Chain A
Amino acid sequence: MSDFDETTKTLNFDAPNSYVGRSVTRPNARRLAQGRGQFVDDIVLPRMVHVAYVRSPHAHARIVAIKSKKAAAMPGVVRIVTGAEIAMVVKPYVGVLTHLQGMRSAPQYPLAVDAARWQGEPVVAVVANSRAEAEDAAEAVEVDYEELPAALDAERALDPSEPRIHKEFDSNLCFTRTVDTGGVDAAMKAAHLVVEDTIRFGRHTGVTMEARAILADYNRADESMTVYHCGQSPHMVQGIVASRLSLDEHRVRIVVRDVGGSFGIKIHTYGDEIAACALSLMLNRPVKFAADRYESFLSDIHARDHRVKARLAVDRDGNVLALEIDDLTGVGPYSMFPRSSGVECNQILNLTGGPYKHKEYRAKGTVVFQNKNMMCQYRAVGHPIATAVAEHMVDQAAAKLGLDPAEMRKRNLIADDAYPYKSPSGMRFEALSHHRCMDKLLELMNYDQLRREQADLRKKGIYRGIGLSSFIEVTNPSPMFYGVGGARIAAQDGCTIKLDANGSIVAATGVTEQGQGTETIMAQIAATALGVEMSCVKVLTGDTDKVPYGGGTWASRAAGIGGEAVLQASLALKKNILEVGAVILKTSVSDLDIVEGKVVKKGTEQGLTLAELARICYYRGNELPVDFQPELVVTRHYRVKDYAFVFSNGAQGCLLEVDTDTGFVKLLKMWCVDDCGRVINPKLVEEQARGGIVQGIGGALYEHCLYDDRGQLLNATMADYLVPMAAEMPDIVCAHVETPTKTSVLGAKGAGEAGTGGAPGAIMNAVNDALRPLGAKVNQQPITPEVVLRALGKVK
C-alpha cells in the first residue's frame, strides 16, 4: 500500500507493505552468481575483429616514424592505423569545465599524433581477427621515437626550467583556484595554538576486476553505431561518440550490460575506446577492444596524487578557529575529457574541514600537467584527501592540547540543530547529523573500553591505535557540478514506467547498475509507490534506445536522483491506473487504492487485479467509455533544484595494531555510521560502506602507482600493485542515522562513496595514535611498513 499525501507531498514509507527500508536481496545477483552475466568481452558479433594498441614506452617522446609493413603482413591482420589516420576521423577534445575558471588543457586525439606524452599512451592501432594476432602484430610494429625530457614531479612542474608539455601554453599549469574568508591571518595570530603539517597522498587507481572494454558496431547501411560499453553514463558516451565521430546522435546507441566494477574508472573518455569506435566506422564492421591488465594500469585513470600543506588554529579549549590548506596535484599531460582533471582539487578546496564550525578558511589549489598517466575522478573524488587532512590536523591539535580526539570532535563538529548551514568554503548543507553519528559511533565502538585496553596493552609493548574521522560527502549533484561548466552530462534523470498487458510493471531508468543494487532499489521504490509486489516489477537500465535521457551513476546520485524519478513516475502511473479503475468500478478515484497488485475500494479487498485492468485496457477497450483513453505509460524526471549538492555525512572508527619492529599495520576492526538520508535497502547501503571502506583502506595502506625518474610505471601488474585482500581485511561494523533530505519525496542521499572518503582519515589517525607514545608521526599515504619505520627512525 502506498499512502502518498498530496497536500504534504510525503509518502508513508513505513506502511505495512513498503519495500523501502527492507534488506531485500538483489534479483540480478542470481544471474551473476551462476556465471550468466554478460560483460563486454563476453559479447561476440558476426565479422567482429579485435584491436590491440602499440603504446608509448616513453613518458615523453616525439614520434619520428612508424613502420608497419612487416606487421601488416602477419597472420590475421586486418588493418594497421596510426594516430594521424585516426585523427582524420575523430574531432579532438579538450577536457575543461568553464566554471573552473582559467582551466586549460590541450586538444587531445585518441592516439598520439606528433608526440607521446605518457608511458602507455596509445600510438598505433592494430586490428586483427583475434586479440592474440593483433598483439603479435602490435609487437612487430616499429615506432622510432626521439625521447624528450619529461616533466614528472608536480612540485617542479611550474619551474621555468622544466620541460613544457604543451608548447602552446606558457607553463605546465592546468588550473588554480583560491578560497579565502579574509580573516585567516588574524585568527592564526590570535590563536592559542597553530599546528602545521604537510600531508602526501600517493597515486593510486581503481583496479576494476573487469578491465575496460568496448565493442563498437558501425553499420554503414543505416549510419548507425551501436556501442557495447562497460561504463556508468551511457548518454554521456552517446554524445561523445556522436560528436567526436560526426555521427547523428540519435543513431548512436550505447548499451551497458553487466559492468565488472567501475568506481569512476569507466566514466571517462579514453583514446583507445574512441579509437575502437573510429576503427569500426573505418572498417564498417564490429571492433572490440578489451584492455589487458598491463594496459589498465598504464591507461585507466589514476587519482589522489596530492600534496597538502595545512595549518590549523585553535583556542585554549580546542575550538578550531581557522584552517588553511595549499593543495598541489599533478594530473598527467591532459585534463581528462569531459569531466576534467580539476575536480578532485576543486573538491578538496570545497570540502576540507567541512564537518567543523570554524569561520575562517583559506585554500589554494594548483593543478599541473606532467608526463604521467592522467588522473581524474575515482570513487569519492577528493573526499579521502579532504577528510584525511582535516582529521589529521584536528588530531594533531587535540594531542598538543591533551584532549581526547572524541572530545575534540564534540567541541568542534557543527551542531545538529544548526542547519541549514553554510561552510566557510561556501558549501550549503541542508541537514547533517555529525553529533548523532559520532555519538552512535563511539557507542558502537565501545570507545572508552577500547581506550582502557589500549592503555593496558601499551604497558606490554603492544601499540594499538584508535582513529576517528568525521566527514561530509557530496551526493545528488545538481547541474552545478558539470552542466554549468559546459559538459554534456545530465544532472536530471528520468524514469518511464508502464503497466504491461499482463499486469506487470516495467520501469526504465537513466541511472545504471554496476552491482551496487540500482535495479533492486528501483524495483523496491516502484513496488512501494504503486502498491504491487516487487517480483512483478522489471527494471531496465543501460540502453540509450530504451531508457529516458539521464546522467547515469556517479557522485552518489543513482538512488537519490534516479530513485526520485522512479518514485514520481510510479505515483503518476498509479494515478492513471486508479482513474481506469474508477471508470471500470464506477466509483471515484479517491475511493480507490492499489494493494498487493489489486485496485481495491479503500478498506476492502474487493476490486480488480492489475492484470485484469490491463487486459481490459489493452484488449477490450470496447468496454470503456468512448471518451476515456487509459494512459498506462508515464515518464517523470527529477533534478535537484534547491542545493548545489545534497550532502550526506558520517563517522568512522578504526582499531589497529602497529608492529614497531616491522612497521606492519594490522587492521583489527572498523566501524562506520553513515547518514545517507532515507535508507532504501539497509543491507545494500552497508555493503556500499564496507566495499567503499576497503577501497579507502587500499589507498591508506597499500595502493601506490610507483614511477621511476624516467616516468616508467614500476608496478603495473596485479602482483606488484597491492590491493586489499581477504586475509588482511577486518570485519566492519555498520550502522545508520537517517536524516531524509527534504529536496525530494524519497528523501534519499547517496551512499556509494562515503566509505572510501572516510576511511583514510580514520586509519592515519589510528596509526598516529599508536605511534604517539613513541614520539613518531606519519603524514603520507599509503602508510607502508617503510613509512612507519622511517617515522620511528628505524630506517633512514
Chain B
Amino acid sequence: MNAPAETVEIALTVNGERVKHTVPARMNLADFLRIELELTGTHVGCEHGVCGACTVRVDGEIVRGCLLFACQADGCKVDTVEGLSDSREIEELQSAFVLTNALQCGFCTPGILMAAQALLRDLPNPTREQIREYLSGNYCRCTGYQAIVDAIEAVAKARVSRSK
C-alpha cells in the first residue's frame, strides 16, 4: 500500500526559467509548483481534475496541474499565472476581469485566466455560449459566471477590432 517514496530527477522550464529538482514520483505538478517552487498562484480545489483551479500550461496546452505528475513534465515548458502576469501576456484579460468584477474571492481566477487565454487562441471571436461552454471545466462559486463571460467577450471583441 505504502510503497517506498521513490524520487525522480526532473529538469523543466517554468515561466521561462530552467528548473532542476528531485521530486517524489507521486507528486503532482500542482503540488510541485506550489510546494517546491512556491508558485502559489496555481490553486488546488479538488485534486481530481474537476474544478479547474489548478489549470496551467504545459508546452502550450492547458492541463490540470493535479492530473499530471511532476515527473511527466520533465523536459516540458510550464507556464503559470505568475509567468503570464510577469510577461504581461494576459494583462488585457486581467484588466477586463477587474473592470467587470469577474472575480470575487480570486481562488478560481488563475485557472480561469489560463482557460480564457487558450479559448481566445483557439476561437478568437467566440459567442457567449461558446465562452460558457469552454469554461465548463472551471468552477466558480462566487460570481455566477456572467461577469467572467462579459470580461472574456470584451477582450475578444477588442482584439478582433484591433486586428481589422
Which of A24-32, A395-403, A415-423, A738-746 touches B? A24-32
Contact with B along A29-55 (1 / 0, CB 8 A): 111111111110110100000000000
Q: Is A162 an interface residue (CB 8 A)?
A: no
**What 0/1 pattern do residues 77 to 103 of B give for CB contact below 8 A with A?**
000111001000000001001110101
CB-based contact B103/A694 at 8 Å: no
B113 to chain A, nearest CB (A): 7
- CB of A619, distance to nearest CB on chain B (Å): 37
Bound complex: CA A289 to CA B131 (Å): 36
Query: How many Å from the CB of B131 to the closest CB on chain A?
Result: 8
B97, A210: Cβ atoms under 8 Å? Answer: no
Instruction: Note all chain B residues with C-beta closer than 8 A to A259.
Output: 105
Q: CB within 8 Å of A: which of B33-48?
A: 34, 38-48
Chain B residue contacts of A32, Cβ below 8 A? 103, 105-106, 109
Q: How far apart sit A752 and B79, CA to CA, in the bound complex (Å)?
A: 35
Instruction: Let me know if A25 and B103 touch, CB within 8 A.
Output: no
Given contacts A209-B140, A725-B139, A727-B135, contact A29 B48 (CB under 8 A): no
Q: Which residues of B, 1-54, contact A by the 8 Å Cβ criterion?
A: 1-2, 5, 24, 26-27, 34, 38-48, 50-51, 53
- CB distance B42 to A35 under 8 Å? yes
Q: Which residues of B contact A31 (CB under 8 A)?
A: 106
Chain A residues contacting B2 (CB-CB under 8 Å) are 74, 136, 139-140
CB–CB A139/B1 < 8 A: yes
Contact assessment for B51 and A209 in the assembled complex, using a CB-CB cutoff below 8 Å? yes
CA gap between A260 and B26 in the complex, in Å: 27
B45 neighbours in A (Cβ, 8 Å): 209-211, 293, 718
C-alpha gap A9/B148 in the complex (Å): 40
On whether the beta carbons of A35 and B48 are closer than 8 Å, the reply is no
A75 contacts which chain B residues (CB < 8 A)? 5
Contact check, B144 vs A691: say whether CB atoms are below 8 A apart: yes
| B110 to A, closest residue via Cβ | A35
Of A37, A136, A211, A717, which is within 8 A of B50 by CB? A717
Nearest CB of chain A from residue B21's CB, rounded to whole Å: 15
On chain B, the residues within 8 Å of A718 by CB distance are 45-46, 48, 50-51, 139
Please indicate the chain A residues that have their CB under 8 angstroms from the CB of B145 in the complex. 694, 724-726, 729
Please determine whether A30 and B94 come into contact, CB atoms closer than 8 angstroms. yes
| Shortest Cβ distance from A720 into B: residue | B50
Task: Annotate A682-712 by CB proximity to B: 1 below 8 A, 0 otherwise.
Answer: 0110010011111100000000000000000
B132 engages A726 (CB within 8 Å)? yes
Interface centre among A209, A687, A723, A731 (most CB of B within 10 A): A209
When the two chains form their complex, are residues B136 and A727 in contact, meaning their CB atoms are under 8 A apart? yes
Do the beta carbons of B101 and A293 come within 8 Å of each other?
no
Contact with B98, one of A26, A44, A211 (Cβ below 8 angstroms): A26
Known contacts A25-B99, A34-B41: A293-B47 contact under CB 8 Å: yes
B107 touches A690 (CB 8 A): no
Chain B residue at minimum C-beta to C-beta distance from A136? B2
Report the separation of the CA atoms of residues A209 and B135 in the bound assembly, to the nearest whole angstrom: 15
CA distance A718 to B98 in the complex (A): 27
Scan residues 42-72 of chain A and give those whose CB is less than 8 A from a CB of chain B: 42, 44
Interface string of A443-474 (1 = CB under 8 A from B): 00000000000000000000000000000000
Q: Looking at the complex, which one of A206, A209, A292 makes contact with B139 (CB distance below 8 Å)?
A: A209
Could you tell me which residues of chain A, from 501 to 524, have a CB within 8 Å of some CB in chain B? Answer: 514-517
Whether the pair A260, B43 counts as a contact (CB closer than 8 A) is: yes
Task: Select from chain B the residue with minimum beta-carbon distance to A688.
Answer: B104
- The closest CB in chain A to the CB of B130 belongs to A727
A33, A262, A729: the one within 8 Å of B106 (CB) = A33
Interchain CB contact under 8 A, B108 and A209: yes
Does B122 touch A at the CB level, under 8 Å? Answer: no
A25–B46 CB distance below 8 A = no
**Which bucket holds chain B's interface residue count?**
35 or more
Q: Shortest CB–CB separation between residue B115 and chain A, in angstroms? A: 10
**Chain A residues whose C-beta falls within 8 Å of the C-beta of B24 in the assembled complex:** 132
User: Contact: B101 with A261, CB < 8 Å?
Assistant: no
A36: chain B residues at CB < 8 Å are 41, 85
Residues of chain A in range 175-228 having any CB-CB distance to chain B below 8 Å: 206-211
> B101 contacts A260, CB within 8 Å?
no
What size tier do the contact residues of chain A reach?
35 or more
A719 at the interface (CB under 8 A from B): yes
Indicate which residue in A29, A717, A726 contacts B103 across the interface (CB closer than 8 Å). A29
Contact call B106/A260, Cβ cutoff below 8 A? yes
Closest to A292 in B: B47
Closest A residue by C-beta to B45 = A209
Q: Quick one: which of B45, B94, B97, B149 has the most chain A CB within 10 A?
A: B45
- Is A732 positioned at the interface, with any CB of B under 8 Å from its CB? yes
Is A263 located at the chain interface by the 8 A CB criterion? Answer: yes
Which residues on the A side are within 8 Å of B148 (C-beta)?
726
Complex partner residue of A293 from B48, B97, B107, B135, CB under 8 angstroms:
B48
| Chain B neighbourhood of A543, CB < 8 A | none
> Do B107 and A729 touch across chains, with their CB atoms under 8 A apart?
no
Flag whether A258 is at the interface (Cβ < 8 A): yes
* Whole-angstrom distance between the Cβ of B128 and the nearest chain A Cβ: 8
The interface residues of chain A lying within 8 Å CB-to-CB of B47 are 292-293
Which of A34, A35, A36, A687: most chain B CB closer than 10 A? A35
Give the distance in Å from the alpha carbon of A691 to the alpha carbon of B144 in the complex: 4
Pick from B38, B106, B107, B142: contact of A691, CB under 8 Å: B142
User: Quick check: is B146 within 8 A (CB to CB) of the other chain?
Assistant: yes
A456 to B30, CA, bound (A): 53
Give residues of chain A (124-143) contacting chain B, Cβ–Cβ below 8 Å.
132, 136, 139-140
Q: How far is the CB of B22 from chain A (nearest CB, A)?
A: 15
Cβ of B141 < 8 Å from any Cβ of A? Answer: yes
A720 to B104, CA, bound (A): 25
Please give the distance in Å from A259's CB to the nearest CB on chain B: 6
CB-CB contacts below 8 Å: A543-583 with B: none
State the Cβ distance, A613 to closest chain B Cβ, in Å: 33
Determine the distance from Cα of A37 to Cα of B109 in the docked complex, in whole angstroms: 10
Minimum Cβ distance to chain B for residue A68 (Å): 15
Task: Tell me if B144 and A515 are in contact (CB < 8 A).
Answer: no
Report yes or no: A687 in contact with B147, Cβ–Cβ below 8 A: yes
Which B residues are in CB contact (< 8 Å) with A262? 105
Contact flag A717-B46 (CB < 8 Å), given A136-B2, A209-B107, A726-B145: yes
Q: Is the CB of A684 within 8 A of B146?
A: no
Contacts of A260 in B (CB 8 A): 43, 105-107
Q: Are B51 and A732 touching (Cβ within 8 A)?
A: no
Residue B117 at the A interface, CB < 8 A? no
A407 to B48, CA, bound (A): 49
Distance in angstroms between the alpha carbons of A208 and B46 in the assembled complex: 11
Contacts of A263 in B (CB 8 A): 141
**Most A CB atoms within 10 A — which of B85, B101, B107, B144?**
B144
Instruction: Verify B141–A207 contact, CB threshold 8 A.
Output: yes
Asked whether B142 lies within 8 Å of A261 as measured between CB atoms, the reply is yes
In chain B, positions 111-159 with a C-beta closer than 8 Å to chain A are: 113, 128-129, 131-133, 135-136, 138-149
A35 cross-chain contacts in B, Cβ below 8 A: 39-42, 80-82, 85, 109-110
Does B101 contact A33, Cβ atoms closer than 8 Å? no
Determine the distance from Cα of A36 to Cα of B103 in the docked complex, in whole angstroms.
13
Q: A32-B103, A35-B110, A260-B105 are in contact. Are A693 and B26 (CB under 8 A)?
A: no
A115: min CB distance to chain B, Å: 28
Q: Write the nearest CB–CB distance from A137 to chain B, whole angstroms.
A: 9
Q: Are B146 and A719 in contact (CB under 8 A)?
A: no
A210 CA to B43 CA, complexed, in Å:
8
Which B residues from 51 to 84 make CB contacts under 8 A with A? Answer: 51, 53, 80-82
When A694-B145, A726-B135 are in contact, do A33 and B94 touch as well, CB less than 8 Å? yes
- Per-position 1/0 for A629-652, Cβ under 8 A of B: 000000000000000000000000
Do residues B101 and A732 form an inter-chain contact, with CB atoms below 8 A? Answer: no
Give A218-248 interface residues, CB cut-off 8 Å to B. none
Quick check: B105 and A684 within 8 Å, CB to CB? Answer: no
Which chain A residue has the least Cβ–Cβ distance from B26?
Answer: A132
Show 6 residue pairs from A and B whose CB-CB distance is below 8 angstroms, ordered by the A residue: A35-B80, A210-B107, A690-B143, A694-B143, A718-B46, A732-B146
Top 4 A-B pairs ranked by shortest CB distance?
A: A35-B41, A32-B106, A260-B107, A515-B104
